[in-house]
Amino acid sequence: MEFLLLTPQARPGVALLQLNRPKELNALNRQLMLEIRDALQQLDEDETVRVVVITGNERAFAAGADIKQMADKTAIDMLIIDQFSTWEQIRRFKKPLIGAVSGFALGGGCELAMTCDMLVASETAQFGQPEIRLGTMPGGGGTQRLARAVGKAKAMEMVLTGEFISAEEARRVGLVNRVVPVGQYLEEAYRLAASVAAMSPVAVRLAKDAVNRAFETHLEEGLHLERRNYYLSFASEDRKEGMAAFVEKRKPEWKGR
Ligand code: CO8
Ligand 1 pocket, Cβ-based, cut-off 6 angstroms: 24-25, 27-28, 33, 63-68, 83, 104, 106-108, 111, 130-131, 134, 139-140
* Per-residue pLDDT at 147: 94
CA dist., res. 64 & res. 67, Å (int)? 8
Structural domains of the chain ordered from first start: 4-197 (3.90.226.10), 201-247 (1.10.12)
Q: Tell me how far CA of residue 180 lies from CA of 168, 171, 176, in angstroms.
A: 9, 11, 11
Partners of 62 in the β-ladder: 105
Q: Which ligand 1 atom lies nearest to the CA of residue 24?
A: 21
- Write the residue with the smallest CA distance to atom 16 of ligand 1: 24
* CA 58/CA 54 separation, integer angstroms: 13
Q: Residue 123: CB partners within 8 Å, gap ≥ 6? A: 167, 168, 179, 180, 181, 182
Q: Are 102 and 185 in contact (CB under 8 A)?
A: yes
Query: CA distances (Å), 227 to each of 210, 218, 224, 233, in order?
Result: 9, 14, 5, 10
Give me ligand 1 centre to Cα 168, in Å. 22
Q: How far is the CA of 99 from the centre of ligand 1 (A)?
A: 20
Q: pLDDT tens per residue, the chain (257 residues)?
A: 999 999 999 999 999 999 999 999 999 999 999 999 999 999 999 999 999 999 999 999 999 999 999 999 999 999 999 989 999 999 999 999 999 999 999 999 999 999 999 999 999 999 999 999 999 999 999 999 999 999 999 999 999 999 999 999 999 999 999 999 999 999 999 999 999 999 999 999 999 999 999 988 999 999 999 999 999 999 999 999 999 999 999 999 999 99
**DSSP assignment string, 13-25:** TEEEEEE--GGGT
SS (H, E, C) 53-104: EEECCCCEEECCECHHHHCCCCHHHHHHHCHHHHHHHHHCCCCCEEEEECCE
Cα 228 to chain centroid distance, Å, stands at 25
The answer to whether 169 and 121 are in contact (CB under 8 A) is no
Active site residue 111: yes
Q: How many CA atoms lie within 13 A of 175 on its CB side?
A: 31
Residue nearest (by alpha carbon) to ligand 1 atom 11 = 24
